[in-house]
Structure 1
Amino acid sequence: MVAFESFFEHTGSKSIPHPSKEALDNVYEAIIKEKIAGKSGYYNLPFEDKAIIDSQDYIVKHQDFLSQIKNLIIIGVGGSSLGTKAIDTMLCHLPCRKKIKLKFLEHTDPIEICQTLQNVERENSLFLIVSKSGTTIETSSLAKYVLDRFQLLEHKKHLAVITDEYSPLHQWASKHEIHCLNIAKNVGGRFSVLSSVGILPLMILGYDTSLILKGAKDFMMSFLHRKEDHLIKKAIFLAKSRDRYHTNVLFSYSSSFKDFNAWYVQLWAESLGKIDTYGKKVGLTPISLIGSIDQHSFLQLITQGSMDKTVTFLNINRKNYSEPTIPDIDMEFLESTNFVNRTSFAKLINYQQIATMQTIQNEGIPTDQIRIDYLCEESVGILIIYFELLTSCVGKVLDINTYNQPGVEFGKIRLKEMFESQSKNH
């Protein structure tokens, strides 16, 4: 269903040796210890049914109301929104997808807020407040706005909450008798899409979320049984060659992946940009590209710019997507483009991806490839858990805490100080 091609198949440099069995074992054992210790709860999400049960319970209790909604508005930022958006963008072509508009209030930009809520009416909308800590300033500010604008505390069926158990947001929801779904405290926001954070909205939209979890579970089991050591090899390669290749490009060949790319950027950057146990600042920089669009911009930099990048290609097996085709039309003065006539667009983008990949490989730039047969619930589950596990493995090799974000917290503290200082001056 999903095939993974290793960096080492195209990287012949002797300066990048294959990791030893001992090195692979060390990383694997470190991940197992981390899983057992409960360092992060995302390892367990594919095996749990809590998110499914809690979401089904909510949907059954509000079945009549949910059958009439036209808008699902998620109020949340970062890990509270990016994963759900990514999965919906990848799967929205499926016939099971209900005709509900999925909107996100995740930005404090006033223009974006007004545009998102344009033509939204309370009567046919569900507002879902998602915040792990319950105190995220963007989320709480946007929540206050919709509470006031749509008078939601007087119409509580239009409101639901997902947050940590006993968080300030949970306490607020309990006081006002608003339906609240909880996630485990050790599940970080950017690793939370397989919890109720993603499962509830995706289930409301009509997807078979049990298949998403199945895909993730099957891959996780395969990893635990040492059948996915290519992932550990990739993690060691990326971490150990970070001074040489400090920028990692995800070059996805379908617009269906544009929001997945954004999810990957947060996961990679926020997890891996840290200070290690020796006090050294380390990190890897993610870059998100969509083919074939970005061939006309970023490819030039990759091929003839600094040799400091690796490139992962993500694509779909185009044999399973044969329509539409390019008509056999001879446009005067454009005869040089006729070589693609009667070709499917799927074949065209596939050849564009191959040509781009070969061009990059010919420059000696490390590449690997992830190829999906069908973009469905199971394959998306595999993709999500693959990148989460890869992030954890790289974090282990870098000797960092993959799951905290002190740099982000510093920014939150400074923001609060600025407002408090301004208040004193007035």
Structure 2
Amino acid sequence: MVSFESFLEHTGSRSIPHPTKDALDYVYEAIIKEKIAGRSGYYNLPFEEKAILDAQTYISTHQDLLQEIKYLIIIGVGGSSLGTKAIDTMLCHLACRKPIELKFLEHTDPIEICKTLQDVTCANSLFLIISKSGTTIETSSLMKYILKRFDLLDHKEHLAVITDEHSPLHKWASKHQISCICIDKNVGGRFSVLSSVGILPLMILGYETNLILKGAKEFMMSFLHRQEDHLIKKAIFLAKSRDRYPNNVLFSYSSSFKDFNAWYVQLWAESLGKIDIYGKKVGLTPISLIGSIDQHSFLQLITQGSMDKTVTFLNINRKNYSEPKIPNLKVDFLESTDFVNGTSFAKLISYQQIATMQTIRDEGIPTDQIHIDYLCEESVGILIIYFELLTSCVGKILDINTYDQPGVEFGKKRLRDMFEVQTQSPPNKDLIQ
């Protein structure tokens, strides 16, 4: 269903050693210890039924409401929104997808807020607030806005919450008797899409979420039984070559992966940009590209710019997508483009990806490839857990805490300080009110 090709087959350089069995064993055992110790709860999500059962319970008790809504609006940022958005964008072509428009309030940009809420009313919407604590300033501010604008405390059936148990947001929801689903506090936001954070909205949209978890579980079991050592090899390659190749490109050949790429960028950047146990700043920089669009922009930098990048190609088996085709149409003065006439667009983008990959490899740039036979719930579950496990393996090799984000917390504190200073200072007419 999903196949993986190793970097080490195409590095174009003998100066990068292949990892030994001892190295593979070391990383594998470190991950097993981390899982057993409960370092992060995401390891257990594919094996748990709680998210499925909680979602089924919510849906069964709100059937009348869910049959009437036109919009499902998620209020949350980062890990609270990116994973759900990624999966919906990858799977929205499936026949099971219900005609509910998924919207996200995740940005404090006033223009975007107004645009998102056009045509939205309380009666035609379900507002789903997702936050581990509720105290993230973007989420709390947007939450206050929709509570006021749509008078939601008087229409509580149109409001639901997903949060950590005993969090400030959980206490608020309990006080006001608002539907609330709790997740394990040990599941970090950017690793939470296989929890209720993703399962509830995706089930409301009609997806077979049990198959998403099934795909993730099967890959996790295969990894635990040492059938996916290519992932560990890739992690070692990326971590040990970080000074030479600090930038990691995910070049996805379908617009269906646009939001998945954004999810990957957060996962990779926020997890791996850290200070290691020796006090050294380390990290790897994720770069998101969509083919064939970015062949006409970023490809130039990859092929002839600094040789400091690795490239992972993500693509779909085009044999399963044979329509539409390019008409057998000759256009005056454009005869040079006739060589693709009669070809399916799927074949064209497939050849574009192959040509791009071969061009990059000819430059000696390390590449690998992830190939999906068919974009469905199970393959998406595999893809999600693959990148989460890869992130954990790289973090372990880098000797960092993969699951915290102190740099983000510094920014939050500075924002609070700025507002406190403003309230203590004389009014400044130049400040935006």
Counterpart secondary structure, 2:123:
helix
Q: Give the drift of 1:157.
A: 0.3
- Please tell me the residue identity of whatever aligns with 1:92: C
Q: Deviations over 1:11-54 (max 9, x none)?
A: 14121010000000000000000000000000000000000000
Q: Which residue does the alignment assign to 2:22?
A: 22
Q: Distance in 1 between matches of 2:369 and 2:133?
A: 36
1:79-130 CA-to-partner distances (Å, cap 9, x unmatched) read 0000000000000000000000000000000000000001111101000000
Question: How many residues of Structure 1 are paired with residues of Structure 2 in the alignment?
Answer: 426
> Does 2:128 correspond to 1:128?
yes
Q: Which residue of 2 aligns with 1:77?
A: 77
Query: Contact 2:12–2:365 at 8 Å: present in 1 too?
Result: no
The reply to whether residue 230 of structure 1 matches residue 230 of structure 2 is: yes
Q: Give the distance between the partners of 2:248 and 2:181, measured in 1 at CA.
A: 35
8 Å contact kept, 1:134–1:164: no
Letter in structure 1 aligned against 2:124: N
Equivalences for 1:26-425 in 2 at 5 Å? 26-425=26-425
**In structure 2, C-alpha distance between the alignment counterparts of 1:223 and 1:145, rounded to whole Å:** 44
CA deviation after TM superposition for structure 1 residue 225, in Å:
0.1
Do 2:12 and 2:361's aligned partners in 1 also have CA atoms closer than 8 Å? no
Code of the residue aligned with 1:194 in structure 2: it is L
Structure 2: how far apart are the matches of 1:387 and 1:134?
A: 27
CA distance in 2 between counterparts of 1:186 and 1:36 reads: 13
SS class of match (2:68): coil
Deviation at 1:9, TM superposition (A): 1.1
For structure 1, list consecutive stretches of 5 or more residues without a partner in the other structure. Answer: none
Contact 1:46 1:217 in 2 (8 A): yes
Which whole-Å CA distance do the structure 1 matches of 2:123 and 2:328 have between them?
50
Paired with 1:161 and 1:15, the residues of 2 have a C-alpha distance of 52
Secondary structure class of the residue paired with 1:277: coil
Distance in 1 (alpha carbons) for counterparts of 2:415 and 2:394: 31
* Deviations 1:324-363 (CA, angstroms, capped at 9, x unpaired): 0000000000000000000000000000000000000000
Matches of 1:185 and 1:131, distance apart in 2: 11
Q: Does the CA contact (< 8 Å) of 2:68 and 2:124 recur in 1?
A: yes
Equivalence for 2:429: none
**Unpaired runs of at least 5, structure 2:** 427-433
CA contact (8 A) 1:132 1:189 kept: yes
Task: Give the TM-score, by structure 1 length.
Answer: 1.00
Partner amino acid for 2:249?
V
User: What TM-score do the two structures reach when normalised by structure 2?
Assistant: 0.98
* Structure 1 ranges of 4+ moved more than 3 A: none
Identity of aligned residues (%): 84
The alignment's C-alpha RMSD in Å is 0.5
Pairwise CA distance, 1:424: 1.0
CA–CA distance in 1 between the matches of 2:46 and 2:134? Answer: 24
d(CA) in 2 for partners of 1:65, 1:237: 50
Q: What per-residue deviation string (whole Å, max 9, x for no partner) do you get for residues 242-301 of structure 1?
A: 000000000000000000000000000000000000000000000000000000000000
Shift of 1:164: 0.3
In the other structure, the counterpart of 2:3 is 3
**Does the 8 A contact of 1:249 with 1:287 survive in 2?**
yes
Instruction: Report if aligned partners of 1:11, 1:364 keep a CA contact under 8 Å in 2.
Output: yes
Distance in 2 (CA, whole Å) between partners of 1:222 and 1:134 is 36
